[in-house]
Amino acid sequence: MDRNSLISEIKGIGAKTEELFQKLGVYTVGDILLHYPRNYIQYPEAKYVDEVTEGETAAVVGRVLKTPAVRRTRSMPVTVTAVGTPEIQMELVWFRMPYIKNQISAGGTYVFYGKVQNKGGRLVMEQAAIYPTEKYAAMEKMFLPVYGLTNGISNNLITKTIRAALGEEQLFYDYLPQEIRDTFQLCEYNYAIRQIHFPDDMDTLIVARRRLVFDEFFLFILGMQYQKEKRVRDENEFEFQTDSFVDDLTEKLPYELTGAQKRALADVRKDMRGPFVMQRLIQGDVGSGKTILAFLAMADAAHNDYQSAIMAPTEVLARQHYETFTKLCEQFGLKIPVVLLTGSMTARQKRMAYESLQLYPNAMVVGTHALIQEKAVYDNLALVITDEQHRFGVRQREIFAEKGRHPHILVMSATPIPRTLAIILYDDLDISVVDEVPAQRLPIKNCVVDTGYRSKAYIFIENEVKKGHQAYIICPLVEEVESMELENATDYVKKLRTIFPEEIQLGLLHGQMKPEQKNKVMDAFLKNEVQVLVSTTVVEVGVNVPNATVMMIENAERFGLAQLHQLRGRVGRGDAQSYCIMINASKSKTAQKRLDILNRSNDGFEIASADLKLRGPGDFFGIRQSGELQFALGDIYQDAAVLQQASESVTRLLADDPELLCEAHENLRRYMEDFLQGQRNQMSL
């Protein structure tokens, strides 16, 4: 068995289990080993009864004071005893577990693990797990991995499968050149894989993670540079008039573009008339007005009798762009066909869209990944725009570009990445920064509060709805997950139905819903048929509902600052005052300090820089930043120093050996060829 062996070759994995693993993207032995833990559980240090507090999940060590008694009630047997000392004791209760009386005896010392409660002035622990003291002492030092799951796959099954795969020797060859490993003191690759799943201690976990994060950044940058070195800048084959068409359109807008918008638009127009094909990133904060720039660039292409296309990361956003562009064309009296193409459209709708691509040589095409499918054939494509670049890879951009005769490429991102990191991550693009917010927008009023503020927040939201406005409530989970005391969207909606009056319509939105369900819910929210939308972070990307004035985020401490800022950007898009309420369920001073950054500022670039300074290498677990390029382990904020090292390594490596022909780089060259082929295969699926 090797890393390319099918997952079914691992003992105990049958056909049904293999299908379930495939839902997680796990097909081979190598895939399961790269299915990293999303967190770890470490059992707490055992305490005595007088050291625990109400509400904590604790391990209590103590002597059993009396023989467990089993009381029979009408519905179930209840087993009861007590632990501690005669003066300070805690009651232990187990429901439907009469056999417990045979597992422990009076006078024996054990460790009991569970949640401590206060009932009638007495400390009580219900359904406690029981461990011999020696066994628990060994467990205290272990890190237990917690994996991303799907229905039918348990954490225990993944753990067993990974242990079985790791039983094989040296499944991976180490492709990283020895000189790079020595320079940055990086551990061997197979060691890193073993330790990331089952670390010996915190030190080995940090060492393993650092190696794997370095690899993620290194391969991303090398893949980009390796292809860039082989690319020659394409000559601009398109002829654009130098006239006042775009200036005339901007004069007709009901508002004046900001200085930053004008500069970015000038960059784009200059590029499209320059000697080479445009490769430009417009990086603008949430609400900075990037969509109107996309429209004006696409209108410029249509005016010159060329097609243009914009690809959004979600169907909801694609449909919104389509409606916005259609209205703008009507408003300006432009006879430009606007074509929508998404994956959930019917076969007939798609066929009509494909025909429009051939029929209209100046069409504005709006869609999702469906725009780069094989059946989408363009007649006259001169401009390609990818909205929210972090959702698309370099290879996807290339496939999109291949749809025309080397069209201009414009990438738009709302992720507030500090410029030093942006230059590394978007090395193949010229960068325009839109760092001003339109003058007519009022700054969002922020507050960070604890869970005790919830009832007041509900009253505040109800009052805003009575004024005709709408609200978002964001939860970190779709549904309840055992052992995670976080708010989930499914149960939250049920709870709100008992709190808000009947006339307030509630909606539920999350990533596990089918595209047509998401579209239906979002459409109802856009039309104000739903006043309060309970959602996961699926609303983070670009949805525009000007009537929404409240963003309430549960468990705000669990999100990265960049993501919180993106979520906050869903409100404040109209002319009414908007508010962001961040519920901090943690008592951690660090969490409060992080959230205070958002409380003080609405400037995404300032927030990103402050977050970068606050989060050092000692912040091991970090907080996953959704919204930027998605790495399995790496976080471009927390791991900024490693990102810089990986970038420097790639630069030096390609300067010395641009084709990776040196014998010392043979493994790396082989890996890169497999890596790039894998990207191509993924894109062809």
For residues 376 and 269, state if they share a domain. Answer: yes
What is the pLDDT at residue 362?
A: 95
For residues 314 and 461, state if they share a domain. Answer: no
What is the pLDDT at residue 222?
A: 87
- Residue 627 belongs to a domain: no
> Of the residues 122, 139, 156, which one is the last residue of a structural domain?
139
For residues 105 and 152, state if they share a domain. Answer: no
For residues 449 and 418, state if they share a domain. Answer: no
What is the pLDDT at residue 599?
A: 87
> Of the residues 402, 434, 466, which one is the last residue of a structural domain?
434
For residues 30 and 158, state if they share a domain. Answer: yes
The C-alpha atoms of residue 190 and residue 17 are separated, in whole angstroms, by 26
Residue 458: which CATH number? 3.40.50.300
Backbone angles phi, psi at 261, to 5 degrees: -65, -40
Residue 3: which CATH number? 1.10.150
**Could you write out the DSSP letters of every residue in 495-554?**
HHHTTS-TTS-EEEE-TTS-HHHHHHHHHHHHTTS-SEEEE-GGGGTT---TTEEEEEET
Q: Token pair of 543, please?
A: 């949805």
**Three-class SS of residue 593?**
helix
Residue 429 vs residues 32, 231, 282, 293, 389: alpha-carbon distances, Å = 34, 13, 10, 18, 11
- Residue 102 belongs to a domain: yes
For residues 282 and 403, state if they share a domain. Answer: yes
DSSP lists the bridge partners of residue 123 as 118
What is the pLDDT at residue 618?
A: 35
For residues 388 and 502, state if they share a domain. Answer: no
The C-alpha atoms of residue 249 and residue 661 are separated, in whole angstroms, by 53
For residues 154 and 253, state if they share a domain. Answer: no
- Residue 624 belongs to a domain: no
What is the pLDDT at residue 435?
A: 80
Q: Are 341 and 367 in contact (CB under 8 A)?
A: yes
In the block, which residue shows the tokens 């951009």?
A: 397
- Residue 348 belongs to a domain: yes
> Of the residues 403, 434, 465, which one is the last residue of a structural domain?
434
The C-alpha atoms of residue 646 and residue 642 are separated, in whole angstroms, by 6
Q: How far from chain centre, in Å, is Cα 504?
A: 30
Residue numbers of the domain that contains 149? 1-42+142-171
What is the pLDDT at residue 625?
A: 42
Q: Given 3-state DSSP classes, what are the helix, strand and coil percentages for the chain, each rounded to the nearest 5?
A: 45, 20, 40
- Residue 314 belongs to a domain: yes
In the block, which residue shows the tokens 């062996």?
A: 5
- Residue 380 belongs to a domain: yes
Q: How many domains does the chain have?
A: 4
What is the pLDDT at residue 632?
A: 82
- Residue 664 belongs to a domain: no
The C-alpha atoms of residue 219 and residue 212 are separated, in whole angstroms, by 11
Taking the CA of residue 615 as centre, how many other CA atoms within 13 Å lie in the half-sphere pointing to its CB? 27
Decide: residue 384, CB within 10 A, 0-12 exposed, 13-18 middle, 19+ buried: buried
For residues 387 and 482, state if they share a domain. Answer: no
For residues 19 and 148, state if they share a domain. Answer: yes
Contacts of 7 (CB under 8 A, 6+ apart): 13, 18, 21, 26, 27, 28, 29, 31, 32, 161
Decide: residue 242, CB within 10 A, 0-12 exposed, 13-18 middle, 19+ buried: exposed
For residues 36 and 95, state if they share a domain. Answer: no
- Residue 200 belongs to a domain: no
For residues 455 and 576, state if they share a domain. Answer: yes
Kindly give the parts of the chain with pLDDT less than 50.
389-392, 483, 616-628, 682-685
The C-alpha atoms of residue 253 and residue 249 are separated, in whole angstroms, by 7
Q: Token pair of 104, please?
A: 């422990």
Alpha carbon dihedral 212, 512, 623, 650, in 10-degree steps, equals: 30
Residue 69: which CATH number? 2.40.50.140
What is the pLDDT at residue 552?
A: 97
Between strands 144-146 and 39-41, the pairing is antiparallel
Where residue 168 falls (left for φ over 0; alpha for ψ -120 to 50; beta otherwise) is beta
Taking the CA of residue 215 as centre, how many other CA atoms within 13 Å lie in the half-sphere pointing to its CB? 25
